[in-house]
Amino acid sequence: MSEESCSIGNHRGSMNSEVDKARGDSAAVEERDLKLEVLDYQAEMMDELNEMIAKEVERQKQVKILGEYVEQICNERFTQMETVIQKTKELMVSTLEWNLEKATEGSQEFRENIRELLKLYMVVNQRMEAEEEKIKELDGLVSLLEETMEEYELVKENIKLTQQMLGLGLRTPAEPALPEISKAQPREPFETKIACLIPRINEEMDVPPSTSIASSRTHGTSQRARE
């Protein structure tokens, strides 16, 4: 723009010289004035254009600076977003792995608990079977005890009949009535029953010698009486 201004100034100077030469001619003077006005207008327009171009250049510089700032901010935000996404991904993967590990441990523990429950069930079942066998044995002992009691009553009756037949008039010690054993009633422990019967049997067997000798001599009679 400065070179153009210089060329315009030189041209103006040459025109001034020409105008001076033709000073006497009014037409030349008017033409010179017109050309000077045109040149002044062109110079003014050039100055305004230069100013406008300078402002536009400055504005473009500001736009460039703003664009670079926006680009920098966008890059920083993109970097932050990538970092956040990566951390979130790592956290999710870590959480899923932890959940999978806990689920595996829980499943293994559940299987072990099931195995323990099955073992306990088998042990309880075996113990129940053993208890059932013991109950069967106790039932057999109770039945044997009942049979023994019946035989004991028969022996006692035979002893009484034998004593009456011999006329000895011996009396056995009074005994409390024995409770009838019924399967429908609750049973006492067979150890208690046996412990109660032992002294009574000893009392029954505790007979004077004469009576025992007479009883041995009349064995056939007692056998017939039993029949």
Look at residue 81 in the predicted model and tell me its pLDDT: 93
CA–CA separation, 30 and 1 (whole Å): 29
- Domains of the chain, residue spans: 2-81, 139-226
Tell me the one-letter amino acid at 189. P
Look at residue 4 in the predicted model and tell me its pLDDT: 52
For the whole model, what pTM was predicted? 0.34
Look at residue 170 in the predicted model and tell me its pLDDT: 45
CA angle 185, 189, 193 (to 5 degrees): 95
Each residue's pLDDT expressed in tens, for the chain with a length of 227 residues: 445 555 555 555 555 555 455 555 677 667 777 888 888 888 888 988 999 999 999 999 999 999 899 999 999 999 999 999 999 999 999 999 999 999 999 889 999 988 888 889 898 888 888 888 888 888 888 888 888 888 888 888 888 888 787 765 444 444 444 444 444 444 555 556 555 666 666 665 554 444 444 444 444 444 444 44
Residues 140, 143, 147, 148: is their CA dihedral positive or negative?
Answer: positive
